[in-house]
Amino acid sequence: MTGQKLGRFEIIREIGKGAMGVVYLAHDPRIDRKIAIKMISIPAGVSSEEAREAQHRFVREAQAAGKLTHPNIITIYDVVEEADRTYIAMEYIDGETLEAHTRPGGQLPLSKTLSVISQACSALDYAHHHEVIHRDIKPANLMLLKGDLLKVTDFGLAKNPDANLTQAGVLVGTPNYMSPEQISGRPMDGRSDFFSLGVVLYELLTGERPFGGDTISTIIYRILYEEPRPPRILNEKLPPAFDAILKRALAKDPDDRFQNGTQFSDALGNYSTFHLKRPVSFASPTLRMGGEENGSLAPSPRARRKTRPAPRSGPRPSPPVFAGQPFKVGAFILLVLVGLLIFPRRVHEMTQTDARSASISQPPVTQNQAGFGLVSGLGAAHAPVVPPQPAERQAEVKINAGTDLFQDNKKLNEPKVRLKDSDEEEHTLLAVAGCREGSYLFKGSELKSSYDLTELKPRVGDLQIDSKPTKVQVLLDGKLLGTTPYKLANYNACETHTFTLKMDSYRDFQKTFDEKSTWNDITQTLERVTLSEIPPGFARFEPAPPFALEATVAGKPVTLKDGIMTLLEGSQTVLLRSEQVLYKYSLKIDITGGKTQSVKMLWPGRGKLTVQAEPSNCKVWVDDFDLGAPPILDQDIVAGKHEIRVLPEDPNLADRAQRRDVTIEPGQPTVEKFALNF
């Protein structure tokens, strides 16, 4: 189709092709930009029913992804259904899928791997909060752009969580990355996507899939019933925490997994301590306990070598070495007899030869540290030659108990400086005791015989406070300083202060530092604060409200559509208000992230209210609703007790205002007349 047009779009070239679709690079002349066109392609031999279902899923991709606006989700511009073809116009992204990084030799550095998975967590969290489950997370649907930006693509299998997960008994999705509940057709939610993302992470870190197999039935069986090998068996350079992180990500029971993307991302961001929080017990133990966190993560060839999976039953006893092999038994006995005849004679000959050599030249005998005689002059028995050590100079350092001593940022095990005699470089000596510090700067050529670092002073310096996300409010002891990134000048580390970082829709960060806190503790904590998003949940009014409503929490509006409110996790006090029927009601709701809470409501009936006032240069208020100047004719109002106030427009006549309590009956009109004396 190169050079042809699809509607207003000009096809440039084909850039991808799959079993059910083709992707083209195209140009949109209306806004002069490159876009991607995805067109459904029905293979030959497919029944009309299957073709309709494929087309339905194709359109559903546009509908699902089209309502998602997130930096890590591909943007859908339009979906076009014509008589003989259906296609989607979407954002064109120039990058590569993660498939290239799932094989040994092509793996990403650990830091980049964690970054792309964390971005995927953010994208999936956003989709789940908008009631969209991807259902086909795999490396081919995760695109890495320049600048290490990740994009989640292909929402062609996306569904509402309440929909069935199989169609006509056929699994939809990629089996290697499916969750147990997706394979078995059980109800599923967003945690299924995080299982699939865990499979991707396992593959990125080890170069192998956790549930491999030559047939689909083998893969399905392993996903449902077998535990994967710990990743550090395949890649011994991984930090220990990843055995625990992937154990949780790939749990068979969704309740045992990460419950949302924030939890998953936080575990990756804090992997150095994650393994201390949860026990991990893979089916087979980790072979190596050591590992490097830096450098290439590609596992060694020995680590990648395939191992036979352990049997599910108990170990079988090994058969005897010569069981059923009588010829081997005879050969073994003959070999033993020959050895008994020859070996003593050979030993005797060797002993006499050594004795003759010793009589020709008898070198001096020395003693080693264990008291055994070592013959000098015999190659294998020579004492090792110790090369001369370079001359060094030392300096004693006087410090108080509980003080840590550092030379050039390296902690010393004893209060002593050691330098080579030839050392003329500049060095730093630092003593740290909690918030107090003392230091010396000296040259190697000017090393003194001793240094006194017993008198330490409070560390005062500039603090850099930064966060993810940025633009977060920074409060010091409850007082607002500004937003991140923020520089706090002349901070005294020995004073007690509480730092709070806060942002709407995120959990507050709060940390108190006192005289026991080191400057290093303070700076490292505040220069990389990560706030966790508060997951939203939902409250469904039953029955749905019979009139238009607005909802606010702490004065801020919340989404209310079709009787369903979107609220942040936690205990929320919601104010419901309707200008249409003068309704106001406050209620408290406990919200759990990702779940829907049913709220039973008894909505009031409605009546009609008419208010007349003389003179008419005044304002009418019902409760706290401003109805304007009278007359107020047949105003819809909820049944119940209300307060009516009529206020003169002139504030100097406020004492002439009148108020009255009225009771509105359902379905009944109420007329109230006021006569103001001014």
- Residues whose CB falls within 8 Å of the CB of residue 390, separated by 6 or more in sequence, listed in order: 420, 421, 422
The two three-digit tokens of residue 497, written as one number:
């202060």
Instruction: Show which residues are catalytic.
Output: 136
Q: How far apart are CA 87 and CA 275, in angstroms?
A: 47
Residues linked to residue 375 through DSSP beta bridges, in sequence order = 365
The two three-digit tokens of residue 204, written as one number:
């990125």
Q: What is the CA radius of gyration of the chain?
A: 38
Tell me the backbone φ, ψ of residue 353, rounded to 5 degrees: -60, -45
Question: Exposed e or buried b for every residue in 483-503, given b needs 16+ CB within 10 A?
Answer: ebebebeebebbeebebbbeb
Peptide bond between residue 615 and the one before it cis (omega within 30 degrees of 0): yes
Q: How far apart are CA 124 and CA 1, in angstroms?
A: 34
Strand blocks (E) in 59-194: 76-81, 86-91, 95-97, 142-145, 150-152, 166-167, 170-171
Distances (CA, A) of 65 to 78, 232, 545: 11, 36, 29
Name the DSSP letter for residue 316. P
Amino acid identity, position 677: N
Residue labelled with tokens 């309740």: 255
Sign of CA dihedral 180, 182, 185, 188: positive
β-strands 450-452, 392-398: how paired?
Answer: parallel
Name the DSSP letter for residue 506. B
Our measurement of the distance from residue 109's CA atom to the centroid of its chain's CA atoms, rounded to an integer in Å, reads 17
**Are 4 and 13 spatial neighbours (Cβ–Cβ below 8 Å)?**
no
- Category of 476 on φ-ψ map: left (φ > 0), alpha (ψ -120 to 50) or beta: beta
- Residues whose CB falls within 8 Å of the CB of residue 7, separated by 6 or more in sequence, listed in order: 80
